[in-house]
Amino acid sequence: MTSNLKDHPPPDSMAATATATAPVPAQPQAPAPAPAPAAKNYKGFVAGVFSGIAKLSVGHPFDTIKVRLQTSTSSQFSGPLQCVTQTLRNEGIAGLYKGASPPLVGWMFMDSVMLGSLTMYRRLLRDNLFNPPWHPLHDPSIPLPSHGHGLAGVLAGFTVSFIAAPVEHIKARLQTQYAARKSERLYSGPIDCLKKVYGHHGIQGVYHGLGATLLFRSFFFFWWGSYDVISKWMATHTAMSAPAINFWAGGLSAQVFWLTSYPSDVVKQRIMTDPLGGGLKDGVRRFPHWKDAAVAVYRENGAKGYWRGFLPCFLRAFPANAMALLAFEGVMRALPE
C-alpha cells in the first residue's frame, strides 16, 4: 500500500510535474503593421512620369494631324493622308512635332497626376465605398469591381483637367499655326503663346475650354473600366505575361475610350482654337458656349463632322497608350513599397 502511494504521486503533484516538464508554447507574434496607404500612393505619381514620356514620343505626330483635321475644313485638307503630306512638304518632320514642348512637360506632369490620383482613388473607393472594413461582409481579398475602376477614372480625369486644360489649350493654338516661317506666326512658341494669352485675357483666357475638358475626361469611365475588364479576361484566358497584358489592355482600352469620347474632343478642340479676340487681334470669337461649337460642327459637316480626324487619333491610341501603360505598370512593379 505504501509503495503504491510512492509510485503514484497525488494529482496535484502530477499537474505540477507536467507543468514543470511540458514545453511552453511559443507566443504568437503580432503581425507586422501594413504599410500606410500614403506610402503606396507615391508609386503612381512617379510611374506616371514615365507614362507621359512614352505617350508623347509615340503619339504626338498623330495628335498634330488629328488637331489640324479637327480645326480645318475639307477645302484645306481632304483627309489625314493629304494633311500629313502637306505638313511634311511645307514644314518638314518638325511640323509633326509642333507644339510638342508643352505636352512634353505637360504629359509627364499630367500623367503623373492622373495615374497617381487614379491609384489613390482606386484605393479610396475600395476601402470606403465598395469594400469598407466596417461592413459585415468585408473581405480584404475582394478587388475593386470594374465599374469602380471606371469611377476612379472619372475622378482622376476631373483632377487632371485643371492641369490639362491650359496645356492642351496652348498646344492646340501652336498646332494650328500653318505658316512655315516663325516671323509670320502669331506665337513664336509655347512661352510666347502663354504670355500673350495671359497678358490679354488673364487666367480665364489660359483656362479657355476648361468646361469642355471636364466633359471630355468624364469618358475616362470607359477607359479605365474597360482596362480592368480586358486585363482580367487576358489574365484568366491567356498565358500572356503581365507586361504583355498591360500592353494589349492599355492599347485596346484606349481605343474604347476614343470610340466613346471622340465627338466631345472635336468640340473641345474647336473651342480651344477659337479666336479670343481683344488685344490678341487673332480674329472674332465664334463660340462663346459649348453648344455653339457643337452646332457649328454639325452645320459645317453634318454628323460626320464629329468624327473628322478620327483615323489618325484611333491609329495613335493603341501604340501611344499601350507603351504608356506598359511603362506605367512596369515602373509600378519595380518601385519599392
Give the percent of the chain with pLDDT over 90.
Answer: 55
Residue with cell 469611377: 151
Distance CA 292, CA 270 (A): 10
Q: By the 8 A CB rule, do 125 and 117 touch?
A: no
Cβ atoms of 113 and 178 within 8 Å: the answer is no
The residue-averaged pLDDT of 154-162 equals 97
| Rounded Cα–Cα distance for residues 306 and 265 (Å) | 9
CA–CA distance, 40 with 62 (Å, rounded to integer) = 34
- What integer is the mean pLDDT of 11-33? 46
Report the pLDDT value the prediction gives residue 43, as an integer from 0 to 100. Answer: 85
Residue 27 pLDDT greater than 70, yes or no: no
Cell numbers that stand for 10 in this block: 497525488
Instruction: Tell me the pLDDT tens digit for each residue of 184-217.
Output: 899 998 899 999 999 999 999 999 999 999 999 9
Q: With the C-alpha atoms ordered 235, 241, 243, 248, is the resulting torsion angle positive or negative? A: negative
Is the pLDDT reported for residue 30 higher than 80? no
Q: What is the pLDDT of residues 241-278, one digit of tens each?
A: 999 999 999 999 999 999 999 999 999 999 999 999 88
CA atoms within 13 A on the CB side of 97: 9
99: left (phi over 0), alpha (psi -120 to 50) or beta: left
Per-residue pLDDT tens digits for 108-141: 888 899 999 999 999 999 999 999 888 888 888 8
Considering only residues 335 and 265, tell me which one the structure prediction assigns the higher pLDDT: 265
- pLDDT per position as a tens digit, 88-104: 999 898 888 887 776 67
What global pTM score does this model have?
0.77
Distance CA 163, CA 177 (A): 23
CB 275 within 8 A of CB 169: no
